[in-house]
Chain A
Amino acid sequence: MDKEREIVLVRDCQRGDRRAMDTLVRQFEKPVFNAAYRMLGSADEAADVTQTAFLKVFENIRRFDPNFRLFSWIYRIAVNEAVNQLNRRKRFAPYAEVPCEDFDVSQDTVSTSQLCSEVQAVLMELQPDHRAVIVLRYFTECSYHQIGEILELPEKTVKSRLFTARQQMKCRLQRHGILST
């Protein structure tokens, strides 16, 4: 969606136009649900977070700053809501450093569904702030600048955090046997 259409859509939503609200939800519900699912590893919780995120979007739409892109603002609300949900859950595994080696993908040894659940399990082992950059980079295809806007971080921090998160991710994938050394 280009910036001009986005401005019109936001303005219509601010006026309370239900059709515009419906359009906005349709535009972003899938990627928001996807991001929430990757952050939480649970479809039910992701659905709850997606609903709450859109509720907050419409509650605060009058305060939307047009200097930001709409999707960045919505993702920010969704990611924060997912992190809140994780904090409420208080049962993610303790974080630990893992020695790292080089790796290759051994995709022929696992089916897609296995791969999916294994990768999600590994993702859940990361700290939430590292998981968030991986999710935004690989599952929502955001740029450094967009990730920075969403997580309210300087681009430099995004780069370094993404580097660390990737290293952690590949080490864990390797440990789980999803990537060979």
Chain B
Amino acid sequence: MNRYRTLELISAAADGELGDAERAELDRLLDESPEAREFQAELENLEALFGDIPLPDMPETLHADIMARVPLPQAISASPMFAWLRAPAPIWRYGLATAAGLLLAVAFYESPLFFSHTGNTIDLVGTMAPAGSRSDTDLVDSYAFRSDGLETLIRLERGHDSLLLDIRIDADEPVELAVNLAGAGARLEALSQSESPPESISLADRILHIQALGRRRITAHLRRVDDADFAGEAKIELELSSEGKLLQQGSLETTW
């Protein structure tokens, strides 16, 4: 008997790597050789020993720790399409942005032509939040989508008892973004925008619908609600579609 061949076959059998022809060869060797049977028993014992070892307990926070360290998407930041957002803005832009924001807020409350409030309008109670409040927020999650002629970047920032959704869309064709706030544990307090307003914005059943064409940016200010059913994990679901066809789904998550 070739001892090396015997050990190789027995090892392969123990590792589940034996073919039919080799199985027949091994069976013959096992019939003939007490030494081969002994070696096979050794490997079976080792297998049984390892099988008795329980899995180590994974730390409960490991998943959250991993996700907290996962880098945020960089696709958009590398894109020239959003270079205009990164460039330092002249002072008149800030003035224009503030004026446009005020105009949008007024339109939000006053004009049924611009906004269609078809659902729970209690979400809209509140005041315009100043853009400067962002210094008190931390970036906690982001969502990016890019395809031909479309780039979207949505950043979720968290303050003490508020969330800020910074939504940027650059679309060659009309797109609709649905932002589902039902799991956010927050109500929409105000909307502001720094450049051109979206084509339309509506809120229905805690879902914010934004239709956009071209380069658009809007910020949604969310305020935490006291809700006995709310578990403390804020989840905002996103759906991006074009002409009724779903392009991408995603979510932004954090905890209060």
Chain A residues with a Cβ under 8 A of chain B:
15-19, 21-22, 25-26, 29-30, 33-34, 37, 43, 46-47, 50-51, 54-55, 58-59, 102-105, 107, 112, 115-116, 119, 137-139, 143-144, 159, 162-163, 166, 169-170, 173, 178-179
Sorted nearest first, the 10 A-B pairs with minimum C-beta distance are: A16-B73, A138-B50, A16-B144, A105-B45, A37-B56, A54-B66, A33-B58, A47-B59, A51-B66, A58-B70
Q: Establish whether residues B66 and A25, one from each chain, have CB atoms under 8 Å apart when the complex forms.
A: yes
Chain B 39-96 interface residues, beta-carbon cutoff 8 Å to A: 41-43, 45-50, 52-59, 62-63, 65-67, 69-75
A-B residue pair count with CB separations less than 8 angstroms: 126
A33 with B75, Cβ < 8 A, contacts A15-B145, A105-B49 known: no
Contacts of B149 in A (CB 8 A): none
Is chain A's binding surface mostly helix, strand, loop or mixed?
Answer: helix
Contacts of B42 in A (CB 8 A): 102-103, 170
Q: Establish whether residues A25 and B67, one from each chain, have CB atoms under 8 Å apart when the complex forms.
A: yes
Q: Establish whether residues A47 and B62, one from each chain, have CB atoms under 8 Å apart when the complex forms.
A: yes
Of the candidates A46, A54, A115, A179, which one forms a contact with B70 in the assembled complex, judged by CB atoms under 8 Å apart? A54
Of the candidates B17, B54, B143, which one forms a contact with A17 in the assembled complex, judged by CB atoms under 8 Å apart? B143
Q: Establish whether residues A163 and B7, one from each chain, have CB atoms under 8 Å apart when the complex forms.
A: yes
Roughly how many angstroms separate A21 CA and B53 CA in the complex, as a whole number?
A: 30
Q: Establish whether residues A119 and B62, one from each chain, have CB atoms under 8 Å apart when the complex forms.
A: no
A51 with B73, Cβ < 8 A, contacts A119-B50, A178-B49 known: no
Least Cβ distance of A157 to chain B in Å?
14
Q: Establish whether residues B55 and A34, one from each chain, have CB atoms under 8 Å apart when the complex forms.
A: yes
Contacts of A51 in B (CB 8 A): 62, 65-66, 69
Q: Establish whether residues A29 and B66, one from each chain, have CB atoms under 8 Å apart when the complex forms.
A: yes
A33 with B62, Cβ < 8 A, contacts A18-B253, A137-B15 known: yes
Least Cβ distance of B44 to chain A in Å?
9
Roughly how many angstroms separate A55 CA and B66 CA in the complex, as a whole number?
A: 7
